[in-house]
Amino acid sequence: MKPAMAKEHEAEPDTGKCLFCQIHDPEVNDLLFTGQEIYVRLDNFPAAKGHVEVVPIRHVASYFDLTPSEHTEVYALIKRAQQYIEERFQPDGYTIGVNEGRAAGRTIDHLHIHLIPRYEGDVPDPRGGIRHVLPGTDPDEWLA
């Protein structure tokens, strides 16, 4: 059973622990692979088929606080996760995202990088991609 969505910035509601710090608890984390400092898990609330999260083992909130070795392993495991997704789902593209800070929508204060497979037709007009999180981003209004 996957956990209920935690309220903003709270620990996992049933245990009081950080969701991402419960690495080896299969009730909350469906691990794909683990490195020395980073792991990859299936997203509990996937936005698309194959949506995964790349997560530091160390409890760290900000992407900008990663150590050089964590940053190196993040890159390696994002590539490995992309290969995993590619083999199983053959998406047409990817969105990679971090909600860095509360103003950006972070709800759990433990860094997690989303790797979301994208498929032709999954949204009516994908132009602009992540720019759509803010108002005034209509691609038809952009200058050529």
Task: Tell me the two tokens of residue 55.
Answer: 């997560």
Q: Is position 112 annotated as part of the catalytic site?
A: yes
Question: For tokens 């759990």, what's the residue?
Answer: 108
Structure tokens that stand for 77 in this block: 């495991």
Buried b (16+ CB within 10 A) or exposed e, 78-99: beebbebbeeeeebeebbebbb
**Catalytic residue, candidates 51, 112, 114, 132:** 112
Q: Cα-Cα-Cα-Cα dihedral of 89, 55, 31, 1, to 10°?
A: -100
Contact partners, residue 37, CB within 8 Å, separation at least 6: 56, 57, 58, 67, 69, 70, 73
**Among all residues, which ones are annotated catalytic?**
112
